[in-house]
Structure 1
Amino acid sequence: MTVRVLAAVGDPDAARAITTLLDQLPDVEQAAPAPAGDSTTLVDTLARAAADSLDGLPEVVLVHERIGPVPALDLIRETALRFPAVGVVLVTGDTSPGLYSAAMDSGARGLVGLPLSYEELAQRVQSAAAWASGVRRHLGQGGDAHTGPGGTVVTVSGAKGGVGTTVTAVQLALAARASGRTVALADLDLQSGDVASYLDVRFRRSAADLAAIEDITPRVLQDVLYTHPTGLALLLAPADGERGEEVTDRSARQIVSALRHRYEVVVVDCGTQMDSANAAAVEMADTALLVVTPDVVAVRAAKRMVRLWDRLQIRKGEDTTTVVNRHTRNTEIQPALVERITGTRVARTAVPAAFKELQPAVDAGRMHDLDAKSAVKQALWALAGELGLVKAPESTGARPGRLLKARRK
């Protein structure tokens, strides 16, 4: 089998050396006339190649250590997440265990040292190509597997306990599913997740069962997911909270990536306590929601959380969307004030204070049976439309924000 290799090399001398060696490797052809000179060109080239099918993608991508403007490890992470059927190999002069570990955590399938060696390059290319071929065989067995950028990932985090994080996550997932999208709801509140309780689910498997798996294939993922009667695919938090420690940031990246490439929408309940796993999910998310209630304590907690994410380089405040829950017109703290204090963008849709509507569904563990007339449900489904998680019925051309109203008629 001929292995297609695409190189991303910013340094002209290194590009010539890599091109020369690749031309000498048996059963290897370069996927482009010349190496991609920067990270943007590489990602754009892969996106165009993946537009039709997996077959359009090269089996192996070589990323040189001096690529830019995105740093090499960040580029490897993005490539591995967006194009999981491609084996990525880092080319670097630093072959220390620390960098090797960092490259593997980012999603690389190997590391080639500088100066280049014919034997080492050949071995790493063939190994990465074999891995990519295996992934493609597995993806080919699932009719709903995605290629290219994959599905939309939305994380839902709470500024503090009791602000309505899980209710928000569950209703967003239900809204997306009701519109016809394939949806996964993952509970990464690993020590105290309540998604199972809110949806009346009893299931032994959880995210912890994926923690030690190197390559999460569609078959392995399916064995751990619970298919809810609503059509949601649920990845639950472990019943024993201490098992949550088994899910590392690397595990979380693999889990979110696997879900992203199998479902159109992935909603992740991150709870209110930051650990390495849900921090990784927030970093990877297309949209990161921070749920807050309009009171001083919650708003201060939200500000602390935003600053924490910024200090740890998880996410910037301007890239975070705050959702105001239990909103009333007569409270002193309004969405505009929350936006100024937290430095985030506040969602246009505020969720009203109507706990009496929620209590029966919460107590029964039947959040999916919440009355369609509920003001809370209507607001959260409107929020799903605002975030682009729902699709309008093709026959009516209705806008996503009107999905709930259309379904009630």
Structure 2
Amino acid sequence: MKWMTMAPQLTMEPSILDVFKKHGRKLEYVEKKSALKNLMDKQEHGVLFYAMSDEQDGYDTCRNFQAIYPNLSVILIEAGVRVDLRQAMRAGALDVIALPFRPEQVEQLIIEREQHVERASQGNKETHYITVCSTKGGVGKTTFSVNLATAYSQKQESVLLVDLDLQFGDVSMFLDCEPKRSIYEWMKEANQKANAPVKSYITAYNEYLNILSAPLRPEFAEVFTPEHIQRLVEKVRGDYDVVIFDTAPYMDDIVLTALEHSDEIFLLTMQDLPTLKNCRLFLETLESLNLKNTLRVVLNRESRKRGVPLATAEKVLGLPITVQLPEASKLVCRSVNEGRPYVITNPKAKISKETINALQLQKGKSAKKSRPLFKALPAGR
């Protein structure tokens, strides 16, 4: 792997150069963008530190380099220009670092990136990321996440279900698990060690399904940043077939980070106008982030006898509803109270069959061309 910089500040820091030397790496200075052509082999991986001359310059550079050099990762440097982390991520930046450089920060980047490339070269799994979200509680989001994850595991797909409702997440309760460690403990170790293993903090539900639980105390959520989620995404890449994020029922930087790293997004809604209106606002946000094409709208507790008609709901949302889930509260209530997913307790029920059928939407199947496959899932949460 080649490590390069177009920021001369890096080559003038002895402590930074010592970090590269410690890991047996050399940091090469690249004076012009055109010089990359001679340095980058098409099959070789590279990392480039790039100091932005203005805000748009860095984002455009990331996009252009990504198109020309697929194996090149760009780390943007805040050098007198404020970098918007979300814009940088959408442009394809690997990370953003600010001046002055800290040796431990650069060392962390070296370790994590080289581990990622090594896993990829060993032919590890191509991880498929899914985010399940909603604009309010009580619409069946966690029920959907838990059963989707369990259905994947029944197909012998390795799954990590991450509880990103960091204040009041209850994925573990829905699966009748008592985790000894959580995402909070991993985050604390990750702040101290670049190589903090996620697997030390998971709870195994079955042979194929692992859970990374929410913190035990709501106040612990305050210490999480989008960078923690970004590191988590990279840390588990290649270790699982599927990673599912069950998010908090609102929009914040943590949820946005999960959304921006997702191959599929499921948005849960219902047939009342306030919920549909809030979902419309949510969808407008996704559209501004160029994430709308990865979205599937899930209409939960669908009923012809109550709530606004389906056509009206689609008109309010401004796009078709992909998934329609009719009322089945008794089955789900029993499933939640027992801590056993309904795809296990009632495998022959229509709700279970339709959930399992949905797995064909995985990995590269176009959301726009797919037909609605779910038709039954009541609200649990």
Matches within 5 A, 1:5-24: 5=3
Offset of residue 268 of structure 1: 0.5
Q: What is the aligned counterpart of 1:209 among 170, 185, 189?
A: 185
Which runs of 5 or more structure 2 residues have no equivalent in the other structure? 9-24, 366-372, 375-381
Offset of residue 322 of structure 1: 0.8
Count, aligned residues? 341
What residue number does 2:45 align with?
57
Return the TM-score normalized by structure 1. Answer: 0.66
Offset of residue 239 of structure 1: 1.7
Q: Per-residue CA shift, 1:153-203, capped at 9, x if unaligned?
A: 111112321110001111111222222322111110111111000001101
Q: Does 1:352 align with 2:350?
A: no
What residue number does 2:241 align with?
264
Q: What is the aligned counterpart of 2:360 among 365, 381, 385?
A: 385
Q: Does 1:247 align with 2:224?
A: yes
Cα distance in 2 for residues equivalent to 1:202 and 1:331: 38
What residue number does 1:325 align with?
300
Note if contact 2:75-2:94 (Cα within 8 Å) is conserved in structure 1.
no
Note if contact 2:173-2:339 (Cα within 8 Å) is conserved in structure 1.
yes
Offset of residue 376 of structure 1: 2.0
What residue number does 2:276 align with?
299
Change in Cα spacing, 1:333 to 1:385, as seen in structure 2 (3 Å) is farther
What residue number does 1:362 align with?
336
Change in Cα spacing, 1:70 to 1:284, as seen in structure 2 (3 Å) is farther
Change in Cα spacing, 1:293 to 1:111, as seen in structure 2 (3 Å) is closer
Cα distance in 2 for residues equivalent to 1:211 and 1:327: 39
What residue number does 2:153 align with?
177
Q: What is the aligned counterpart of 1:168 among 124, 128, 144?
A: 144
Change in Cα spacing, 1:235 to 1:6, as seen in structure 2 (3 Å) is same
What is the root-mean-square deviation of aligned Cα atoms in Å?
4.7
Change in Cα spacing, 1:35 to 1:326, as seen in structure 2 (3 Å) is farther
Q: What is the aligned counterpart of 2:266 among 289, 304, 324?
A: 289
Q: Per-residue CA shift, 1:230-284, capped at 9, x if unaligned?
A: 5212111112111111212221222223233422211110131223212221222
Note if contact 2:135-2:282 (Cα within 8 Å) is conserved in structure 1.
yes
Cα distance in 2 for residues equivalent to 1:329 and 1:102: 40
Matches within 5 A, 1:183-202: 183-202=159-178
Change in Cα spacing, 1:218 to 1:174, as seen in structure 2 (3 Å) is farther
Cα distance in 2 for residues equivalent to 1:139 and 1:7: 19
The aligned amino acid for 2:45 is L
Change in Cα spacing, 1:317 to 1:140, as seen in structure 2 (3 Å) is closer
What residue number does 1:20 align with?
none
Note if contact 1:135-1:217 (Cα within 8 Å) is conserved in structure 2.
no
Note if contact 2:141-2:268 (Cα within 8 Å) is conserved in structure 1.
yes
Cα distance in 1 for residues equivalent to 2:311 and 2:207: 36
Q: Which has the higher contact order (CA 8 A, sep 6+)?
A: 2
Note if contact 1:166-1:271 (Cα within 8 Å) is conserved in structure 2.
no
Where 1:325 maps in the other structure, the secondary structure is strand
Cα distance in 2 for residues equivalent to 1:226 and 1:354: 29
Q: What is the aligned counterpart of 2:110 among 124, 132, 140?
A: 132
Return the TM-score normalized by structure 2. Answer: 0.70
Change in Cα spacing, 1:130 to 1:289, as seen in structure 2 (3 Å) is closer
Note if contact 1:210-1:255 (Cα within 8 Å) is conserved in structure 2.
no
Cα distance in 2 for residues equivalent to 1:234 and 1:272: 19
Change in Cα spacing, 1:104 to 1:331, as seen in structure 2 (3 Å) is closer
